[in-house]
Structure 1
Amino acid sequence: MSEQSFNVFSAKADQIDPEANIIATYYVEGKDISIEEAGVKIAAEESIGTWTEVSTATEWIIRNLPAKVFQHKVQDKNTGIIKIAYPNTLFDFETGGIPHILSIVAGNLFGSSALQNVRLLDLQFPSEFVSLFKGPKFGVEGVRKLVGTLDDRRPHLGTIIKPKVGLNPRETANVAYEAAIGGVDFIKDDETLTNQKFCPLADRVTHVMNALDRVKSET
């Protein structure tokens, strides 16, 4: 790998602003390359996608978009921990969200022929991204108000409908009814149940809410 590649895709720690970058920590095992070189290969592939000179790589691209290895800790010859800073400019925080971030920091690197093994260990997010997440809509006290546990302060009980997929809206509502009539506070869909044809979201919500209204009238 050329000296120019090291210059483009590496930096000193004091040159990295954590508010201007997403910082990723990786465990890396290289194939006959140093840990620093493995980090540079990851930084290049996951940011601008090339570590060789191409005519379409403008000065603006080279100046603003490359990820940079800024810390590496060698554990043995070809194994270690590296930190890479990905500039905020690479990301579409508002509409791309977590899937877009993962496609960059944990994308093609897992198939790299230069690496024996690689694992994403940690992500540090800048305030610009974190501020998009407003936190819980109700919070614990708000939930207590909704379910009537402000005074007795008892623990809440929740359940997940099973099987996690396959039930139609009416069947889902029947399970929700049995859980609610038994005293469960929270009933949630499994994360794999979204808006599949066998259980459309709008129909599911309608039937489940009718079932919960029935519980309310009976208790």
Structure 2
Amino acid sequence: MCFGNRREENVDRIYAEYDLETPGDLTDTAAIIAGEQSSGTFMKLAGETEALKEAFGARIESIVETGQFDKPSLPCKIDGTKYTRGKIRLSWSLANMGISLPNVLATVAGNLFELREVSALRLLDVEFPQEFAQKYAGPQAGIAGTRLLTGVSSGPLIGTIIKPSVGLSPADTASLVLELAEGGIDFLKDDELQANGPHCPIADRVQAVMTVLNRFADSTGKKPMYAFNITGEMDEMKRNADLVRDAGGTCVMVGIHSVGLPCVTELRRHTDLPIHGHRNGWGLFSRSPDIGISFIAWQKFWRIAGVDHLHVNGLRNKFSEDGASSIASARQCLTPLFRGAKDFRVMPVFSSGQSAEQVEDTYKALDSTDLIYCAGGGIMGHPQGLAGGISSLREAWQAAVAGVSLEAYSATHPALRAAVETFRPRFS
């Protein structure tokens, strides 16, 4: 459930909603969570006066019971005769943590998941007051800036990931990039596993790749965007962002879970380049319905911190996430987070086993082409080669936007037909 920004409520508070299961009473357990995450502890203390609790204690805003069960969803230290599930909504004074993303995260997703009174707990949504839009830069490029830098004014950005993920030299990578650029690619990225190792140092990779892309841009007027993986220590990321900028690059990629919110925030302050936010490790937060953080809540932190692109998987992807979740995630990226010019919208990135085969259903479900559609095997595994793979994706999107079925359009477009025949069986 997404409750958005509720302007009729206090703007100096943080609101969060959870799916809670407990062997105890919902109200009692909600009070334990509220106390643990604000002014209370496991016992009554003299210093926690009524005045202090009123000013700084977390408030229970609402509780709605949704069901009762005979067994706990997760291991629980407290045995119960029944386990009650419900949606609870809590709020905290902004004075507790200040306008600080790391401290909001510690408040709404800190020491509550492991409480003994909890047999399931999932953070569903967080509401940030407008003050966060004033303190944090948010996305530098977002959707409009990414389109401007790539020269793709409408339609999806057709993208790919350098494959094999690791093992290629800088020269090998540059050779592959040139072939992809000549095939019509809009966006390329390092795999998240390709960092700064001795077989492909980032300085050499940037030099080799940007030499190719700059020459291609000089001769054609089009410069595909390449997201170089600069994940590392803070000083190292700043140096490498400058390296990419000075070489004429237009994007950097960061494994956002690996570096954390403060590093992404500082990198955004340091560089004007778009930040491609890779969510490797996301399954730790998302895979279980009984613990973790929903994408609705999670993505808000990273948009405020300053990423411009966020991965959302895709339909019939190679992971455990279902297609409906991926579409809902993409919609969140395209939904304004704050009012005003700084709405912090970001470009959703469809990836993970994508090919021309999923395009028609993706467009029908999302009803937008504001996205990066990344296909690794879907391009490089195409029987007509890289150019055929790229053409098949463009043709699939042309058909989808025109309202023509994939089958009908592929009858007169050989690259698309080959893609459908090659990829349709894989994840259906």
Are positions 1:53 and 2:44 aligned together?
yes
**Separation of aligned partners in 1, 2:167 and 2:15:** 40
Q: Are residues 30 and 205 of structure 1, via their aligned partners in 2, closer, same or farther at CA, if it must alter by over 3 Å?
A: same
Q: Are residues 131 and 42 of structure 1, via their aligned partners in 2, closer, same or farther at CA, if it must alter by over 3 Å?
A: same
**Separation of aligned partners in 1, 2:50 and 2:169:** 56
Q: Cα distance, 1:115 vs. partner?
A: 0.8
Residue of structure 2 in register with 1:19 after alignment: 11
- Stretch deviating more after TM superposition (99-108 or 193-202): 193-202
Letter matched to residue 79 of structure 1 = R
**Separation of aligned partners in 2, 1:60 and 1:203:** 61
Counterpart of 1:67 (choices 58, 63, 79) is: 58
Q: How does 1:21-40 map to 2 (within 5 A)?
A: 21-31=13-23, 33-40=24-31
Q: How does 1:131-210 map to 2 (within 5 A)?
A: 131-134=134-137, 136-138=139-141, 140-150=143-153, 153-164=154-165, 171-190=172-191, 192=192, 196-197=196-197, 204-210=205-211
**Separation of aligned partners in 1, 2:208 and 2:39:** 49
**Separation of aligned partners in 2, 1:177 and 1:129:** 41
Aligned to 1:111, the other structure's residue is in SS state coil
**Separation of aligned partners in 2, 1:106 and 1:212:** 43
Q: Cα distance, 1:24 vs. partner?
A: 0.6
Q: Are residues 175 and 93 of structure 1, via their aligned partners in 2, closer, same or farther at CA, if it must alter by over 3 Å?
A: farther
Residue of structure 2 in register with 1:117 after alignment: 120
Q: TM-score, normalised to structure 1's length? A: 0.69
**Separation of aligned partners in 2, 1:196 and 1:55:** 54
Q: Give the total of aligned pairs.
A: 197
**Separation of aligned partners in 2, 1:23 and 1:79:** 20
Question: 1:47-73 CA distances to partner (integer Å, 9 max, x unpaired)?
Answer: 346142346658886454322212111
Q: Cα distance, 1:204 vs. partner?
A: 4.3
Runs of 5+ consecutive residues of structure 2 not aligned to the other structure: 1-7, 69-83, 221-428
Residue of structure 2 in register with 1:7 after alignment: none
Letter matched to residue 27 of structure 1 = D
Kindly report structure 1 stretches of 4+ aligned residues shifted beyond 6 Å.
none
Q: Answer whether contact 2:65 2:86 (CA < 8 A) is retained.
A: yes
**Separation of aligned partners in 1, 2:194 and 2:106:** 22
Higher Cα Rg, which structure: 1
Counterpart of 1:85 (choices 91, 103, 107) is: 91
Q: Answer whether contact 2:165 2:194 (CA < 8 A) is retained.
A: no
Q: TM-score, normalised to structure 2's length? A: 0.39
Q: Answer whether contact 2:59 2:90 (CA < 8 A) is retained.
A: yes
- Stretch deviating more after TM superposition (50-59 or 119-128): 50-59
Q: Answer whether contact 2:22 2:29 (CA < 8 A) is retained.
A: yes
**Separation of aligned partners in 2, 1:165 and 1:92:** 42
* Amino-acid identity (%): 37
- Stretch deviating more after TM superposition (84-93 or 164-173): 164-173
Runs of 5+ consecutive residues of structure 1 not aligned to the other structure: 1-15
Q: Are residues 136 and 76 of structure 1, via their aligned partners in 2, closer, same or farther at CA, if it must alter by over 3 Å?
A: closer
Greater relative CO (CA pairs within 8 A, separation 6+):
1
Letter matched to residue 42 of structure 1 = I
Q: Are residues 170 and 40 of structure 1, via their aligned partners in 2, closer, same or farther at CA, if it must alter by over 3 Å?
A: farther
Aligned to 2:27, the other structure's residue is in SS state helix
Aligned to 1:130, the other structure's residue is in SS state helix
Superposed CA RMSD in Å reads: 3.5
Q: Answer whether contact 2:178 2:212 (CA < 8 A) is retained.
A: yes
**Separation of aligned partners in 2, 1:55 and 1:169:** 64
Q: Are residues 62 and 110 of structure 1, via their aligned partners in 2, closer, same or farther at CA, if it must alter by over 3 Å?
A: same
Q: Cα distance, 1:169 vs. partner?
A: 5.1
Q: Cα distance, 1:176 vs. partner?
A: 3.4
